[in-house]
Amino acid sequence: MNLSTASRTYQLLTRIFDVRNATEPFLPPRAEKASLPLRDPQQPFPRVTPESQGISSDHIRKFLEELGRGGDLFMQDVLVLRRGQLLCAASYGSQVITAPKHTFSACKSITSLAIGLLVDDGLLHLDDKVADLFEDLATATVRRRLKNMSVEDLLTMRAGVIFGEAEALSEQDWVRAFLNSSLKGEPGTEFYYNSLNTYMLSAIVLRKTGKKLTDFLQERFFGPMGITDILWETCPAGIEKGGWGLYIRPEDIAKLGQLVMDEGMWHGQQLISAEYIRAATSAHASPPLELGDFDYGYQIWVGRKSPAFLFNGMLGQNVLGFRNSGILLVTNAGADTDYQESRYFEIVDRYFGGDFPDFLPEDPDAYAQLQNTVTKLSSYHSAPLPLDQKAEPFLDQSFDANDPKAASVGILPVALQALHNNYASGLTSIAVSVRGGQPELIYREKDATHRLPVGLGRPEISQLNFHGNVFQVAASGRFTHDEEERPVFYIQLAFLETPSVRTIKLIRTPEGLLLRQTETPGVPYIYKKLRKAADATLYKPLLLLALGGTEDDYLRYKAIQLISPEISLRPNCKAFSLYMY
């Protein structure tokens, strides 16, 4: 990281953690999250009973139930397939399985497949040097420093470049910044996970084909496989991020997992060579053991103890294939993990890591119980509840945010604000109205008014437009009382295309409203990130300057300030009529 990048990173951190002022990004905010429809996939997998594929319905039911126990996994969606047949699809709580999901780093494996196509076409060799591929941008100094860095080093996370996602938030030209970045060791020697390696692979696809990554894959994979409603975020220069930023339906990413399982074959057509798939799913690097029980291939994780492969994204986005049995599992979640540290992998190995017969006798009763469990896991099976008198303390009133901390508070989870470089302008007021017999949350920020219907008994889905970024949001709520017998309106906003959930608690007090809001992934996850940065030689000075300290209690306090604000609001009954228009 050079001095100018370090300075901008420090300044951005300072702005994000300044809770008395709205965060001002370094780069101009861009509307990159378009509206994505909630609809069934094209070319769906055949639906069959688990028994027809050698797995009991009771076994899968117990698996789903265990994933939902404890709450730490924050499970959202689960697909279970075997030999290209879909045995079960389940969604938890407010989630819907037809929503395209943000895959985070799981999409790195898809970028790898694009590189495999270039290799198959003879347009690229894995020993090609990165500096040669970007010769027009590489100075003599860059060419000397990167003379040994190959495409394979990018694929195996052994490039050693330090410029990463955090620094990219304040840079316009990511390719140039990558090429000019400092190195951590000699390229090709040490595993150093960095999503900008994958971004460079995306840039290579554009260089070699003249087509953006999404367009290239549309021709070769997405079109033939019936994968639709794809959105892949881009850098300021318009190049897909490659290592993150892809939204895709669970069943559609399962198709790409099945493509790997079948060594490049899809419906009798060889879309990518088996040779590249075998190389991509072979171990080429050994990540630290604390990351999990997987080695690393070509942007695909590889099982150390069994022939398994994994597309893995932070917080629990996984496509896990057991090659011996042909079982494929797809999950989306919001757990506080980055790699494979979650107990999810222990559970999965226990249920699906062994051998299974080709088929079992059909068991209609067990299958019916499985279907009943899938229904009950979802919050949409319940009937809506009517408003009752517990809602009265909140209705038809406006409450102004007079608290200085409100300047940095917004309805969009902080994690999504940072991810999209698109920050809240500050909370100004809150009101609750009634529309169609259900409560409607009216959340006004300095530059926008957000109106979200809140379902009682079952979620209500609507869209939230945040500075041009459009999110599908499932809102559910209940009116209750706290331990002091104060009226409470508890609201949960599930951002269906992401792991993020915003929780809002409105507490009616004699003075007005007390707003408490938080999110998941939340304080534990942010604190863990801050603690890791504070222990790193590279980032500790930046963190010390930006936050003013690196002690454990102080870092936790800063995380709570940012993620779980508490704001006082005062009644302003005269202003309520303004919300009706």
Dig out the tokens for 195 from the structure: 């999503």
**What is the spatial distance between Cα 164 and Cα 105, in angstroms, rounded to a whole number?**
13
**What is the spatial distance between Cα 413 and Cα 397, in angstroms, rounded to a whole number?**
25
- Strand-pairing partners, residue 571, are 399
Residues 288, 289, 295, 300: is their CA dihedral positive or negative? negative
**What is the spatial distance between Cα 325 and Cα 357, in angstroms, rounded to a whole number?**
9
Please report the pLDDT score of residue 579 as a whole number.
Answer: 46
CATH 2.40.128.20 given to domain 3-30+386-580: yes
Please report the pLDDT score of residue 331 as a whole number.
Answer: 98
244: which residues sit within 8 A by CB, 6+ positions away?
Answer: 103, 104, 105, 107, 108, 165, 195, 198, 233, 313
**What is the spatial distance between Cα 433 and Cα 530, in angstroms, rounded to a whole number?**
39
Please report the pLDDT score of residue 60 as a whole number.
Answer: 98
User: Pick from 566, 553, 457, 551: which is nearest to 507 by CA?
Assistant: 566
Torsion-angle region of 233 (φ positive above 0: left; ψ -120 to 50: alpha; else: beta): beta
Please report the pLDDT score of residue 546 as a whole number.
Answer: 66
Please report the pLDDT score of residue 578 as a whole number.
Answer: 46
Q: Matching CATH topology for 3-30+386-580 and 37-99+249-381?
A: no
Mean pLDDT by 10 residues, the chain (581 residues): 62 82 85 95 98 98 95 94 98 97 98 98 98 93 93 97 86 94 91 97 98 98 98 96 98 98 97 98 95 96 95 97 98 92 94 96 98 97 92 93 93 92 94 94 96 97 96 97 94 98 97 94 82 71 71 82 93 61 42
Please report the pLDDT score of residue 538 as a whole number.
Answer: 65
Please report the pLDDT score of residue 581 as a whole number.
Answer: 42
What number of CA atoms fall less than 13 Å from residue 220's CA on the CB side? 27
**What is the spatial distance between Cα 533 and Cα 6, in angstroms, rounded to a whole number?**
14
Q: Select 37-99+249-381's CATH number: 3.10.310.30, 3.40.710.10, 3.20.20.60, 3.30.1330.10.
A: 3.40.710.10
Return the domain boundaries, the chain.
3-30+386-580, 37-99+249-381, 108-212
Please report the pLDDT score of residue 355 as a whole number.
Answer: 95
Please report the pLDDT score of residue 501 as a whole number.
Answer: 97
**Residues shown for the chain:** 581
Please report the pLDDT score of residue 318 as a whole number.
Answer: 98
Alpha helices in 353-447 (DSSP H): 364-377, 414-419
Dig out the tokens for 556 from the structure: 């936790």
Dig out the tokens for 159 from the structure: 């490039």
